Every structure is written in structure tokens, then in C-alpha cells.
Amino acid sequence: MFRVRTRVAALLVLAGVLVACDGNEPQTPCACTEEFRSYHLSVVDGAGEPADGVDVRVVRVLTGERLNFGAPAGTPGVYVILDDSFTDRIAADESFQVGGVRGEASFTTEFRFGTDECRCHVLRLAGPDSVTLQP
């Protein structure tokens, strides 16, 4: 009788573990750090000088939604294009169009971003470090 109860208990524990795992959990345990990552784009003018005062826009290609990014990063000519505040809304590999205008000069470029396995941080998968305003 004790052996039957032990086996039944073991089967119930195993079944509970299998039901609890739906296949979407990371393969390794997650422990996010308090580090907050942001990605920047350096914008220069035709002479190669940092371009301040550029109206930078970030658009999520999947939805056409304009994101609340593109603010100056505190360094001349450098703009924030995405940060960890977006980890809960981004797909594993997603395209973003980044464009900017200053007077008659402009630029447009594409980026791809995703997240790490635990969805702690946004990751830049592709895209330039800097762009040049074109007339």
C-alpha cells in the first residue's frame, strides 16, 4: 500500500511539473539586473560635425506606431532611439525606421531590435552607429 501511494504521489508531482511548463519559459532561470540599457544614434552634418536640433522620429514598422523616442541623449548630435522601457512590447526580431529632419537636411535608416531571452533588455540586432544628414 505504501509503494502505491508513493508512486501515485510521484506521478502527481511529475504531472504538476509538466503542466506548469508551457514551453515558453527560458531554458535558464532569469535574474534581471538593475542595469537600464538605451541605444543611441549619432547624427552628423555634411561636414562631419555633431548635428544638434534634429527632429528624430522612431517608428515601429510592424504597426506604424511612432514611438516616444528620439530625444537628445545629452551629448551633442546623439539621440536615444530605444531603451529597456520597451522590452515588454517588442518581438524577438523587429524592424524600426528612424528618421530625422533639420531644416532642409534629413536622414532615414532602419534598425532591428529584439530582447534577451528573459526579456530584461532590448538588444540591437542591426543598424548603424551614426548617420549623416543629407540635403
pLDDT for res 27: 62
End-to-end CA distance of the chain: 86
pLDDT tens digit string along 80-89? 999 999 999 9
pLDDT over 70, % of the chain: 79
pLDDT-wise least confident of 20-34, 48-62, 68-82: 20-34
Domain ranges for the chain, please list them. Answer: 36-132
Q: Residue 47 pLDDT more than 90? A: yes
Ordered DSSP codes for 31-75? ---S---EEEEEEE-TTS-B--S-EEEEEETTTTEEES---B-SS
Give yes or no for a contact between 69 and 97, defined as CB atoms under 8 angstroms apart: no
Label residue 43 by pLDDT band (50, 70, 90).
Answer: very high
pLDDT for res 19: 38
Give yes or no for a contact between 67 and 59, defined as CB atoms under 8 angstroms apart: yes
